Amino acid sequence: MVNMIKVQNNIATREPIPDFLDQKDTPEALASLLDLSWTDPTLGVQDAAWWPEEDTSGELGVNKKWGVEVLTLDAERQVVLVKRKQVAMTAAEKAARDELIAAQWTAQIAARRFEVETGGVTVAGVKLNTERDSQSLLTGAAFAASIDPDYRIKWKAETGFVDLTGEQVMGIASQVRAFVQACFNREAELLGAVADGSITAEMLEEGWPE
Q: How many domains does the chain have?
A: 2
Same domain, 100 and 83: no
Among residues 95, 83, 89, 84, the alpha carbon closest in space to that of 62 is found at: 89
**Region for 193 from its dihedrals, namely left if φ exceeds 0, alpha if ψ lies in -120 to 50, beta otherwise:** alpha
State residue 210's pLDDT score: 87
Report d(CA 43, CA 20) in Å as an integer. 9
Same domain, 51 and 98: no
Same domain, 16 and 84: yes
**183 assigned to some structural domain:** yes
Residue 38 amino acid letter? W
Same domain, 67 and 128: no
State residue 159's pLDDT score: 86
Same domain, 76 and 115: no
SS3 call for 198: coil
Going by the DSSP 8-state scheme, the letter that residue 131 receives in this structure is S
Same domain, 35 and 97: no
**210 assigned to some structural domain:** no
Domain boundary among 24, 59, 88: 88
Same domain, 98 and 54: no
Confidence of residue 124 (pLDDT cuts 50, 70, 90): confident
**61 assigned to some structural domain:** yes
State pTM to two decimals: 0.69
Which residues neighbour 187 within 8 Å (Cβ) at sequence distance 6 or greater? 109, 110, 113
Among residues 40, 47, 48, the alpha carbon closest in space to that of 20 is found at: 40
**155 assigned to some structural domain:** yes
Same domain, 80 and 119: no
CA 171 from centroid of its chain's CA atoms: 38
63-109 pLDDT, tens digit each: 999 999 999 999 999 999 999 999 999 999 999 999 999 999 999 99
Q: Please name the helix (run of DSSP H) or strand (run of DSSP E) that holds residue 163, with its range, or none.
A: strand 160-165
Phi and psi torsions of 127, nearest 5°: -80, 115
**24 assigned to some structural domain:** yes
Same domain, 161 and 197: yes
Mean pLDDT, the chain, integer: 93
Give the structural domain span for 37.
Answer: 4-88
10-54 pLDDT, tens digit each: 999 999 999 888 677 788 888 889 999 989 999 999 999 999 999
Same domain, 184 and 95: yes
**111 assigned to some structural domain:** yes
Domain boundary among 30, 60, 88: 88
State residue 125's pLDDT score: 84
Domain boundary among 59, 88, 117: 88
Same domain, 36 and 78: yes
Going by the DSSP 8-state scheme, the letter that residue 19 receives in this structure is T
State residue 103's pLDDT score: 97
**166 assigned to some structural domain:** yes
Same domain, 108 and 198: yes
